[in-house]
Structure 1
Amino acid sequence: MRRAAALALTGLVLASLGACASSEVSDRSYSLGRGIVNYDELRRAGDKCKAEGGTLQAKMDGGDPAQLSNYTCVIPKVKRP
């Protein structure tokens, strides 16, 4: 049951966030760290990431979607004129 919930949550996150790779990624981007994914933790991490100007994205390297370490706050580089 927990695995099914984690997979459903992962699908929801992927659908709502979208995944785009970019070479314009800032060195301020960071992984969410260790632990098991749950809705509250992803919500807090997403809010924090958004406040820092980033978007939460799942890593696309085949990692375990039930682990927080599979998610990254991607903060784009600031474009200067």
Structure 2
Amino acid sequence: MRRLAVIALGLSGLALSACQAVSAPDRSYSLGEGIVSYDDLRRAGDKCKAEGGTIRFKQDGGDPAQLANYTCVIPRGTR
């Protein structure tokens, strides 16, 4: 009985791992809040690039002077 429980637990863990790998979203994140400065954007860009991503402006008509309207987009499979 205990052996069956261990096998079932192992199989359910494998199934969940497979689902996570297939549906894992990009590891993107917003750059924060506040007014954009050249230095902030450069530092954030360097950090994002080191993580395998690129900085992109949100395409929803936001204010380009706000840091929250920029995103570090890191595609799946990077790191």
Question: If the length of structure 2 is used for normalisation, what is the TM-score?
Answer: 0.65
Q: Secondary structure, in 3 states, of the residue corresponding to 2:61?
A: coil
Whether 1:71 aligns to 2:67 is no
Per-residue Cα deviation, 1:36-59 (whole angstroms, up to 9, x for no partner): 001000000000000000000000
What is the aligned-residue RMSD (CA, Å)? 1.8
- The sequence identity of aligned pairs, in percent, is 76
Task: Give the Cα separation in 2 of the matches to 1:41 and 1:33.
Answer: 10
- 1:65 Cα deviation after fit: 0.5
AA aligned to 2:56 is Q
TM-score, normalised to structure 1, is 0.64
- Larger Cα-atom Rg: 2
Check if 1:34 corresponds to 2:39: no
Runs of 4+ aligned residues of structure 1 deviating over 3 Å after TM superposition are none
Give the 5 Å matches for 1:1-81.
26=26, 28-78=27-77
Higher helix share: 2
Query: Matches of 2:42 and 2:58 in 1, distance apart?
Result: 17
